[in-house]
Amino acid sequence: LRTGTNPVLIVCAGWKGKVNLEDTLFAGAVTELAAEFLKPACDAPLMAQHLYRLSRNNPVDFLKASSHVQRLARLQITKDIAFCVTESIYDVLPIMKDGQLVNLKK
In a domain, residue 11? The reply is no
Other Cβ atoms less than 10 A from the Cβ of 44: the count is 15
In a domain, residue 82? The reply is yes
Q: How confident is the model at residue 104 (pLDDT cuts 50, 70, 90)?
A: confident
Query: Roughly what angle, to the nearest 10 degrees, separates helices 67-74 and 21-34?
Result: 130
| pTM of the entire predicted model | 0.80
Amino acid (1-letter code) at residue 66: S
Number of domains in the chain: 1
In a domain, residue 42? The reply is yes
Domain that holds residue 66: 21-103
Main-chain dihedrals φ then ψ at residue 103, nearest 5 degrees: -75, 130
Average pLDDT over residues 36-42: 87
